[in-house]
Each structure stands twice: as C-alpha cells, then as structure tokens.
Structure 1
Amino acid sequence: MKKLLGFIFIVFFGITTSTFAAPFTYTFSGTISHILDDAGAAAVAGISVGDSVSYTFLIDRARDPIEMYYDGSLNPNLIDSPPSRDYFYVDLLSGSLIDEVNGGSFDSAGDIAVYKEGLELDSPAGQGVIFLTGSDDNFIRLEGGLDLWTIGSIVNVEETAFDENVFYTTVTSQNLTLTNISAVPVPAAVWLFGTGLLGIFGFNYRKNKA
C-alpha cells in the first residue's frame, strides 16, 4: 500500500508541477509620459499625457509563445523545444489604451494577427527580456529583467496602433511600477483528479483486503 501511495503521489506531483505549473500575473501602474498621435488613436480613446495607466500581463515560462498569421497558420520559428527555452507565452489581461483606427493596415495573410510572446535575450539572469502582445495593427511592448522583478520594480511600456494609411499612434508610459505579482491557481479539477485517484485506489485496496 505504501508503494502504491508513493506512486500516486509521484504521478500527481508530476502533473501539478509540469503540465499545470502555475503562471504568474504582473501588474504595472503609473502615468502616460508621451504620446505620438499621427494615426489619431489617442484622440479617439480620449487619453492624454499624465493620465493613469495600469497594465496586467500573464506570463507563463512553461508555455510556448504564439505568433498567428491572419490565415490561421503559426510561426514555427519561435519554438525551440517544448517547453520553449528562449521564447515563452505572454498575454495582456487588461490595460490596453488604444486600438487600431479604421481597421488598421496589416490584415493580409502574411501579417501577424496575434502576438503572445516573450523573448529572453542572451544576457545574464533574464536581464534582457522583451515582451510583445497584440497584433501587427495594435501591440504592446515592454523590456525588462523578468527574473529580477520584485514589487517596486520599474519598467517602460509602449503601446502602438496603426490606421489604414500606415500612420501610427504610440503611447509611452515610462517608469511604471510593479504593484502586484500573483500566481495563477492550479485548476480545481487537478486537485479533484488527485483526490479521485486516492479514493479509487483506496477502495480497491479495501476490497482486495476483504
């Protein structure tokens, strides 16, 4: 029985720490420091320098990134090996300030419809990391040292959107402060799966013993 319980623990632990490894959310807050509004996206959004901003990103180092073209195909060059070593998954959960104007400019099959990626550059201990989320017509980019982030860390975030004539708006928020780091909980179904395994094997053990 002890060997059986040990086996169940190893399997369950492996599932919860690999397949269901918890990603993290990071929230950065501050104010807009600069706007270049050639596309008019900032005017449409009604934002101006000095306005408050708050971006929340989900970052999952164990999940592969996404670059999806408008024809539905994926860029295979991002994937080094599963899980990807240099590239990883990033998504913006909230905080976008502007949107593409009049449908934007980049909607052909060879353009990127979805970016959800982070890239760790060749530098010490994650000090060079680029994050990109959005599409060719509307994306958010930041650079920072992910492995060095703690509450109070400072980053710069740049959001860009295009119009139908390839004019663009860029909203820059310098010196945003990292105000919250949260682990995304392991899904309840995983824990139910584990307790279910224990229940099944426990029942069989009692049955065989009887």
Structure 2
Amino acid sequence: MKKLLVVLSLALAAFSFQAGAATFSLINLSTGVVDIGPNLVANGQSVSHAFSTAWEFGSDTDGSAFVAITGNPDFNFDALVRVNGLDVLTFASSALDKVFNLSFLAGDIVEFIVSGTAGRIGNIDISVSGVPVPAAVWLFGSALMGMMGISRRKKA
C-alpha cells in the first residue's frame, strides 16, 4: 500500500508540469523567414495601393453639385476641382468625411479628380502560454496504475 501511494504521488507530481516551449516563424515575402521567440507583437503592418479617379460633368442650366468623400480611415488623397480647365480648388488630406457643394453656371465643365493611397494598418499580438499535459497521458497513467493493481491481486 505504501509503495502504491508513493507511485501515485510521483505520477500526480509528473502530471502537474506544463510545457511552454514554442517558437513562431513570421514569413516576410520580401526578405524571407524571420524567426522570433515565444512572444510576438507586430504593430503597423500596412498594405497600401495607389489610385486615381476623375469625374467630369456639366449642365445646360445654372446649378450646384454635392460631392462627399467618405470611407477607410487609412486614406490619403489629393483632390483637384477644375471648372472650364481652371483649377478652382485643390487640397490634400488624410481625414475623410469631406463634403463639397460646388456651384456652376450653364455650359461649365466641372472636373473632380481624386488621387492618393489607400491602405489598411493592423496590429498582431501573439503570446505563448504553458500547455497542460494532454488528457491521453492522464488516461495512459491511470491504465498503468490499474494494471499494477490487477497484477497484485493475482499474486495474492
């Protein structure tokens, strides 16, 4: 009985340990693989692309046009408004929700040109914690203990 208690206490002590060794590999498509340790914090990973678009409109009567720019907050743009080939408004901004009310006369040709970059910046936070011993080891250990008990009964 004493021997069984010693074996049981050693088995329980062995099962209480945790494994915490892990490594990550971060693949950088331009430079190759970068190995990092068990903790990774990568901030400001961005993907961006350039764009340019233009609109042109006119009217045979006097009027106004309502133009609104909204969208992704990671958006930098330059805007240019031309009336009959003359620049009447130009600006650069990284803030969206820009609203314009343009007035024009009959026969005017109004161009609205927007160009810039759009992108997305994200954060990646990964941390490694201890992993408990799998349940299969617990089951295997209890089966071994049961077999030891059965073999003792047969001997007695």
The TM-score with structure 1 as length reference comes to: 0.30
Between the two structures, name the one with larger relative contact order (CA 8 Å, sep ≥ 6): 2
The structure with more radius of gyration? 2
Higher strand share: 2
The TM-score with structure 2 as length reference comes to: 0.38
